[in-house]
Structure 1
Amino acid sequence: MTLPEIIPVSRVNWGGAVRIIRSVFPPIDLFEDIADPADWPLLISAEQKTNPRIMETIGHLDLVPVERRVGGAGASYLMAPFTHIAPERRSRFSDGTFGVLYAGRVFETALFETIHHHARFMARTAEAPGWTSQFREIVLSVRADLHDLRGLEDPALAPDSYEASHGLGRALRGGGSQGVVYPSVRHAGGECVGLFYPDCASEPVQGRHLDYHWDGTRVDLVRDAGVGTVFRVVEAT
């Protein structure tokens, strides 16, 4: 693992970055409310008196420092990755003990990243071929000073192992890093960010709804559910 202190930090200012998530996850009312995030604990306390299951929806709010929380329209898309964590939800830079918000600089990068992970899930569950889960495109802005792995040959970028990247993620986040910008290993020439706090991104807007088709071995088709156009996946590396 490259030592965190020798990784350069770059200002990342991306408008139109793309995150693709499962459509099964609905917006969370508390995060979408116009109330000041500092007042959320009081609102939660009041709501729990009539809805004891509210914490299942909100998740682990205490994992996000008050000063780094975001609220308002679309805030669910920024907050949820940090409040809904679990050991089985590991990702490239997290071992499941903290959240990371991932996004691609362009749509194609986000698409190939999610196709890869969805295909692995489908293979494990031995699902029959067909159109599978629906996804939604989230377009957002990224403005943050991030540790920059672009141009580095770092073991944290290994295509098939997260061992080094988990260690790096823990070290960077523990040292106060805002996140990582790195080359995609699923889309040649693409770039991604892994953000450690929700306020590193802003202006989230829902875009297209997408369907992925599983042919039994890979995701071979993507459909824009809004207009019905189908695209064939010809390269996922």
Structure 2
Amino acid sequence: MSGTADIPVSRVEWKGAVRIIRSAFPPIDLFEDIADPADWPLLISAEQKTNPRIMATIGNLDLVPEGRRVGGNGASYLMAPFTHVSTDRPSRFTDGNYGVLYVGDRFETALFETIHHHARFMARTKEAPGWTSQFREIVMSVDAGLHDLRQLAGELVPALNADSYAASQALAQQLRGAGSDGIAYPSVRHPDGECVALFYPDCASNPLQGRHLDYHWDGQRVDLVRDAGSGSVFRVVNLPSIG
């Protein structure tokens, strides 16, 4: 693999793709409103005159090109990852200076990905065992031409390193700078699962809220997941403890 030009671009069309997010983040009214995204800057300006904290809610809209903004029902789930960014929250394909929308090909993939990151946080902060956090399932469609690492995993091992994001962030920065819409890659946390890292919100559509989920932390790992609606509890298997 000599460079990013050697990475093929594949059309990824997923129905029923899943993203799981913390329930602590409420929808953003502006993105959910029926107003055309082209009118958002004027609406924000008017709202700021009576609500100076509006920008804390909306985030930095300038981080999303005008032509790639999305609005309407559920748009918060697509826009928020791009307007609320921070170098304090880097991830596999960004150092935190720009947003990425991560989506799994199925519920189990999204679940295992989020369980891993939640467990690392819980271990780092030495949280006590118990039912600790609430999450919500977002089901959506993905339709985009993405740089595809799924068949090149053996040659691009550094970008899929389980413990370091250095190579993957460098790769993503190159691809995004060259005009890429995002990356398709094999899930690092769920065998046989696939993920996408989308660089723009319009690469996904039709986001719908699904189940509310509770994660149980046993002091070493997330061992149980509860469907808050039905009360059903499921044991998580085949995940190592976080050391």
TM-based fold match above 0.5: yes
The answer to whether residue 234 in structure 2 is matched with residue 235 in structure 1 is: no
Counterpart Cα distance in 2 of 1:186 and 1:76: 26
The 2-side partners of 1:78 and 1:47 are apart by: 22
* TM-superposed deviation, 1:19: 0.1
Find the counterpart in structure 2 of residue 105 from structure 1.
105
Partner of 1:131: 131
Partner residue of 1:213? 216
Q: Is the 8 A contact 1:187 1:236 kept in 2?
A: no
Take 1:114 and 1:197, find their aligned partners in 2: how far apart are those partners?
21
**Aligned counterpart, 2:80:** 80
Off by >3 Å, runs of 4+ in structure 1: none
Please give the per-residue CA displacement for 1:90-113, whole angstroms capped at 9, x wherever unaligned.
Answer: 110000000000010000000000
Counterpart of 2:181 in structure 1 is 178
Q: CA deviation at 1:2?
A: 5.8
Q: Write the deviation string for residues 199-227 of structure 1: whole angstroms up to 9, x where unpaired.
A: 00000000000000000000000000000
Aligned residue runs from structure 1 range 37-56, under 5 A: 37-56=37-56
Aligned counterparts of 2:50 and 2:89: Cα–Cα separation in 1: 30
Q: CA RMSD in A?
A: 0.9
Q: In 2, are the aligned partners of 1:150 and 1:181 still within 8 Å (CA)?
A: yes
> In structure 2, what is the equivalent of residue 160 of structure 1?
163
Task: Write the deviation string for residues 181-207 of structure 1: whole angstroms up to 9, x where unpaired.
Answer: 000010000000000000000000000
| Structure 1 match to 2:10 | 10
Q: Provide structure 1 residue ranges, at least 5 long, that are not aligned to the other structure.
A: none
Q: What is the Cα deviation at residue 236 of structure 1? A: 2.9
Secondary structure at the counterpart of residue 212 of structure 1: strand
SS in 2 for 1:189: coil
- After TM superposition, the score normalised by the length of structure 2 is 0.96
How many aligned residue pairs are there?
Answer: 237
Instruction: Give the aligned residue type for 1:172.
Output: L
Identity of aligned pairs, percent? Answer: 77
The 3-state SS of whatever aligns with 2:171 is: helix
Looking at structure 2, the residues matched to 162 and 147 of structure 1 have their Cα atoms a distance apart, in angstroms, of 18
The AA in structure 1 aligned to 2:64 is V
- In structure 2, how many angstroms separate the alpha carbons of the residues matched to 1:157 and 1:225? 33
With the length of structure 1 as denominator, give the TM-score of the two structures.
Answer: 0.99
Flag structure 2 segments of 5+ consecutive residues without an equivalent: none
Distance of 2:91 and 2:127 partners within structure 1? 22
